[in-house]
């Protein structure tokens, strides 16, 4: 153990230098770190919500809306197929987790059942007299809910990233909830507005054959919907539109959306562009319906209903309305990010001010500095020169922890600082075990070199066992914990690994180098 190969010396020193290189940018300002050449480490440790302030949101995905929308789409398909087959029906609609219909002619019930059975493989077809039910299977419901949550997480991530928020935390929590933490956020209300909108845009034709007044009186014709808008009529009421349910073009085919200004009126508008399939459908829809009103529906509300003046074949267009520049920018962002598969409800909201975060950092710094000073003084007083070597290793250990956190871009939270403070005390455990073992060997009459060699070799197993059990506990905390618990587990795990490196490798390198140069007759322990 006293012999230290040159390649090991180079490796130890290289790891220490690398840790220092990654740790230094953390102590620079943001502008100074950005000015560092690209070939040098310039990443800084990301501070969590509790250290730099920001917003904490817990969202719930309305997965029932996903199932209902799927069933309503199935109902529309059933209506089309039954009409094609000239089978008369009534009572077509949704009941629970099933789409139902009553066949007027009982003799055609079996024909209708066979026809509807082939519509969707994810449903079970049952009959009750001349009533037919297409019920979603439990597996289908479960899969669609899981897919809705996963898709919602991706859409939320896109929307948050579009706002320029740095280092957001967006993760699933439970079966149908999403945790969103936005450190440093200075406009939480805007984020809530962006996340609160489903942003599902569709294009429909206006139903000119039926009366809006009759629909408002409760006589909405089959195949049509009555929707409100942000415009007002001469009476000051929200203008109502009767639109066809059939979706002419879906917003799912949008590939770009940007805020702009109308060249004629200089008012804010939103321009959009479809992909190839969407452009083809948009061009076909506008070609066949020149002179008709074309409703643009966003989240169940008509935001614009222009007249189709001419076929639009380029796959692009613009949405005009009562927009401010900010609302046009937000709508363009929502359309670019994509529509949520289901509405999101904010269950919990917490805000942490930057002042409170600064206080937490200051308290963490004080605790870390006081803890380190106490450990440094104790080690130097208890073990003399060897204790001073352990102190050097402890300082390097702290540098390595910061370097690893910076390299991994891990988010440092207040519990993470607690993990670092705990690591400061644990970092010298290995050195204490080695030094006490060396003392025992000296008392038994061994020479200094033999005592050091035996002390390190015999204490190694104990050190490994002690640190390995703690590391296992930290890993379990990370796997089964969440949020702050994970932050504590990360810093604790990194601290255990770096402390083992500095105690077993760095401190031993210092001790061996001192022994080989001074060849003492008595160890200063």
Q: For 365-380, write each residue's pLDDT tens digit.
A: 788 888 888 888 998 8
CA pair distance 373, 424, nearest whole angstrom: 10
pLDDT band at 14 (very low <50, low <70, confident <90, very high): very high
Residue 15, pLDDT score? 92
Whether 52 shows a pLDDT value over 80: the answer reads no
Mean pLDDT of 159-173: 76
Contact 404, 26 (CB under 8 A): no
pLDDT digits (tens, 9 = 90+) for 442-468: 888 888 888 888 888 888 888 888 889
Instruction: Work out the angle between the directed axes of helices 325-337 and 138-162 (0-180°, nearest 10).
Output: 140
Residue 186, pLDDT score? 62
pLDDT digits (tens, 9 = 90+) for 228-245: 887 777 777 788 889 988
Upper half-sphere CA count for residue 8 (Cβ side, 13 Å): 16
Whether 274 shows a pLDDT value over 80: the answer reads yes
Do the domains 198-326 and 6-51+354-518 match in fold? no
Look up residue 286 and give its two tokens: 């506008």
For residues 525 and 357, the model is more confident at 525
pLDDT band at 290 (very low <50, low <70, confident <90, very high): confident
Residue 353, pLDDT score? 64
3-state secondary structure at position 260? strand
Residue 189, pLDDT score? 78
Output b/e per residue, 445-475; b: 16+ Cβ within 10 A: ebebbebbbbbbebbbeebeebbeebbeebe
> pLDDT exceeding 70 applies to what percent of the chain?
95
Does pTM top 0.75 for this prediction? no
Query: Residue 256: which of 176, 198, 314 has the closest Cα?
Result: 314
3-state secondary structure at position 496? helix
Q: Is 365 exposed, middle or buried (0-12, 13-18, 19+ CB in 10 A)?
A: exposed
Contact 99, 73 (CB under 8 A): no
Look up residue 172 and give its two tokens: 């699933």
Whether 1 shows a pLDDT value over 60: the answer reads no
Residue 347, pLDDT score? 87
CA pair distance 207, 227, nearest whole angstrom: 12
> pLDDT exceeding 90 applies to what percent of the chain?
5
Residue 294, pLDDT score? 87
Q: Is 46 exposed, middle or buried (0-12, 13-18, 19+ CB in 10 A)?
A: buried
Query: Residue 190: which of 202, 201, 182 has the closest Cα?
Result: 182
- Contacts of 226-235 with C-beta under 8 Å, sequence gap 24+, read 227/295, 227/297, 227/300, 227/301, 227/302, 228/301, 228/302, 229/301, 229/302, 229/303, 229/305, 230/301, 230/303, 230/321, 230/322, 231/322
Residue 167, pLDDT score? 66
Element of type H or E holding 433: helix 429-443
Q: Is 499 exposed, middle or buried (0-12, 13-18, 19+ CB in 10 A)?
A: buried
Query: Residue 15: which of 498, 511, 456 has the closest Cα?
Result: 498
Candidate from 58-72, 87-101, 208-222, 478-492 with smallest mean pLDDT: 478-492
Contact 105, 77 (CB under 8 A): no
Count the neighbouring beta carbons within 10 Å of the beta carbon of residue 307. 11
pLDDT band at 508 (very low <50, low <70, confident <90, very high): confident
CA pair distance 446, 388, nearest whole angstrom: 23
6-51+354-518: CATH number: 1.20.1640.10
Look up residue 395 and give its two tokens: 């300082």
pLDDT digits (tens, 9 = 90+) for 380-434: 898 889 989 999 999 999 999 989 988 887 777 778 888 888 888 778 888 888 8
Residue 173, pLDDT score? 85
Residue 354, pLDDT score? 59
Query: Residue 183: which of 317, 356, 307 has the closest Cα?
Result: 356
pLDDT band at 80 (very low <50, low <70, confident <90, very high): confident
Fold held by 63-137: Gyrase A; domain 2 (3.30.1360)
| All structural domains of the chain with their residue ranges | 6-51+354-518, 63-137, 198-326
pLDDT band at 520 (very low <50, low <70, confident <90, very high): confident
Mean pLDDT of 83-101: 89
Strands 411-412 and 46-47, bridge-based pairing: parallel
**Phi and psi for 275 in degrees, rounded to 5?**
-80, -175
Average pLDDT score over the chain: 84
Residue 396, pLDDT score? 92
Q: Which residues contact 424 (CB under 8 A, 6 or more apart)?
A: 368, 371, 372, 375, 394, 398
CATH architecture of 198-326: 2-Layer Sandwich (3.30)
pLDDT digits (tens, 9 = 90+) for 103-142: 998 888 889 888 888 888 888 888 888 899 999 888 888 8
Whether 356 shows a pLDDT value over 70: the answer reads no
Look up residue 180 and give its two tokens: 């969103």
Mean pLDDT of 178-190: 77
């Amino acid at each position: 153990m006293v012999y230290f190969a040159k390649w090991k010396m180079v490796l130890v020193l290289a790891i220490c230098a690398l840790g220092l290189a990654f740790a230094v940018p953390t102590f620079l300002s943001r502008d100074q770190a950005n000015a560092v050449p690209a070939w040098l480490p310039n990443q800084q440790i990301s501070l969590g919500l509790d250290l730099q302030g920001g917003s904490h949101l817990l969202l719930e995905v309305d997965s029932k809306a996903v199932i209902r929308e799927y069933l309503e789409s199935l109902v529309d398909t059933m209506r089309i197929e039954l009409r094609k087959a000239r089978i008369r029906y009534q009572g077509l609609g949704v009941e629970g987790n099933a789409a139902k219909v009553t066949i007027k002619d009982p003799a055609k019930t079996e024909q209708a059942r066979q026809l509807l059975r082939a519509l969707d493989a994810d449903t079970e077809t049952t009959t009750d007299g001349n009533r037919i039910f297409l019920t979603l299977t439990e597996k289908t419901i479960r899969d669609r809910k899981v897919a809705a949550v996963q898709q919602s997480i991706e859409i939320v991530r896109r929307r948050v990233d579009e706002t320029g928020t740095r280092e957001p935390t967006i993760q699933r929590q439970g079966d149908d909830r999403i945790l969103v933490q936005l450190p440093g956020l200075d406009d939480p209300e805007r984020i809530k507005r962006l996340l609160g909108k489903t942003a599902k845009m569709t294009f429909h034709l206006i139903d000119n054959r039926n009366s809006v007044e009759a629909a408002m009186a409760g006589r909405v014709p089959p195949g049509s919907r009555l929707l409100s808008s942000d415009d007002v009529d001469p009476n000051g009421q929200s203008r109502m539109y009767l639109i066809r349910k059939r979706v002419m073009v879906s917003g799912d085919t949008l590939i770009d959306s940007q805020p702009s200004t109308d060249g004629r009126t200089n008012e804010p508008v939103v321009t959009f562009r479809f992909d190839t399939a969407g452009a083809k459908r948009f061009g076909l829809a506008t070609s066949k319906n020149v002179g008709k009103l074309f409703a643009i529906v966003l989240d169940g509300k008509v935001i614009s209903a222009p007249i189709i003046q001419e076929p639009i074949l380029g796959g692009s267009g613009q949405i005009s309305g009562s927009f401010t520049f900010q609302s046009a920018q937000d709508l363009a962002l929502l359309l670019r990010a994509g529509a949520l598969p289901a509405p999101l409800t904010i269950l919990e909201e917490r805000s942490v001010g930057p002042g409170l975060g600064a206080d937490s950092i200051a308290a963490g710094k004080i605790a870390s500095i006081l803890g380190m000073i106490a450990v440094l003084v104790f080690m130097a007083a208890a073990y003399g020169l060897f204790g001073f070597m352990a102190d050097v290793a402890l300082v390097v250990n702290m540098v390595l922890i910061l370097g690893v956190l910076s390299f991994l871009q891990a988010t440092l939270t207040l519990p993470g600082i607690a993990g670092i403070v705990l690591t400061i005390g644990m970092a010298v455990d290995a050195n204490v075990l080695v030094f006490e073992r060396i003392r025992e060997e000296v008392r038994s009459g061994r020479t200094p070199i033999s005592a050091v060699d035996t002390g390190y070799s015999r204490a190694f197993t104990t050190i490994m066992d002690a640190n390995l059990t703690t590391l296992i506990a930290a890993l379990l905390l990370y796997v089964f914990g969440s949020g702050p618990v994970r932050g504590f587990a990360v810093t604790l795990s990194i601290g255990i690994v770096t402390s083992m490196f500095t105690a077993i490798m760095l401190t031993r390198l210092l001790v061996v180098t001192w022994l080989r140069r001074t060849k003492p007759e008595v160890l200063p322990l």
